[in-house]
Amino acid sequence: MQRLICLSLFAFTLLSLAPPLYAEKTLVFSTFPSSGLGQIFTTVLTEAYQPLAIPIELSEQPADRALKMADAGIVDGEAGRLSVVENITRNLIRVPVPIFHMRAFAYSKSGQLPINGYDSLAPYRIAVLRGYKQALKMTQGMQREIVDDYQQLRGLLENGRVDVVILTEVDALNTFGELLGTTIHPIQPPINQGEMYHYLHQSHQALLPRITASLQKMEQSGRIREIAQAYYRSFQR
């Protein structure tokens, strides 16, 4: 009995001296090249992991590659995605706290086109960014160009080679800059909207309760919303 107590005390001492899980390990999350979302994801996730003493990095990759790397465990997860990606991945675990409310619009030079939903885009020439999975799915068979970066998207619309481009509201701020609201306009209502979530590779299942709790605290305090609002305000100066 005395030997058992000694062993238990020894084990407890070892555990108490052991470094915390993930100490000094930087977690790397893939993300698609973004004109604005990446800045919001970086701020939200850095603050969420800080109380856990876990440093993070975001690795920008082409959208499809970013998702495949996360699903294969080459990186530790995805920074932020719509839940639609769960239909095409097997190894990613959703952290069940929204980190951003995404709104996507059709943008045109007039802003007056009668567009309400993806079906109404059929008569127009469209440009879609590679990696915008929902937009790509919903515009199959339409007159569209698929481009690799935001500057291509802007150039096509500015030069009249397409009638409409599809972008998230936050990415449009950086992409169009001073043209937004003057020569390029969002068409109301949003063509798509939804919550974006952080994803962990399943190898980090044990981390899920801790990062969920940290993000929940940020959500309840209004901090996640505040980060997005600060980003929008930076374009109003």
Q: What is the CATH number of the domain that holds 116?
A: 3.40.190.10
Structural domain contains residue 13 = no
222: left (phi over 0), alpha (psi -120 to 50) or beta: left
Residue 1 covered by a domain: no
Local structure of residue 26 (DSSP, 8 states): P
In this predicted structure, the answer to whether residue 141 has a pLDDT above a threshold of 60 is yes
Q: Residue range 104-113: average pLDDT?
A: 91
pLDDT at residue number 157: 96
Closest CA to 125 of 112, 142, 148: 142
Segment holding 127, helix H or strand E: strand 126-129
90 with 114, same domain?
Answer: no
Average pLDDT over residues 111-123: 92
Domain range for 202: 19-101+195-233
- The more confident residue out of 19 and 104 is 104
Question: How many domains would you assign to the chain?
Answer: 2
Q: Please, how many CA atoms are within 13 Å of residue 181, restricted to the half-sphere of its CB?
A: 7
Asked if the structure places residue 182 within a domain, the reply is yes
Does 161 share its domain with 123?
yes
Question: Which pLDDT value is given to residue 59?
Answer: 95
Q: What is the pLDDT of residues 84-101, one digit of tens each?
A: 899 999 999 999 999 999
Q: Does the residue 38 lie in any domain? A: yes
Check whether residue 120 and residue 226 sit in a common domain: no
Same domain, 40 and 92: yes
Q: Band of the pLDDT at 148, cuts 50, 70, 90?
A: confident
Same domain, residue pair 95 and 131: no
Residue 81 β-bridge partners: 197
Both 130 and 201 in one domain: the answer is no
Show Cβ contacts of residue 207 under 8 Å, excluding neighbours closer than 6 positions.
21, 22, 52, 200
What is the reported pLDDT for 23? Answer: 56
The answer to whether residue 222 sits within a structural domain is yes
**Residues 93, 132 within the same domain:** no
Q: Which of 106, 108, 124, 125 is nearest to 116 (CA)?
A: 106
Q: Extract the tokens encoding 119.
A: 């079906």
User: Do 95 and 201 have their domain in common?
Assistant: yes
Whether residue 106 is contained in a domain is answered as: yes
Q: What would the pLDDT profile of 36-76 be if each residue is shown by its tens digit?
A: 788 899 999 999 999 999 999 999 998 889 999 999 999 99
Strand, helix or coil for residue 51: helix
**CA–CA dist 20, 34 (Å, integer):** 33
Residue at 223: amino acid letter? R
Residue 229 and residue 188 in one domain: no
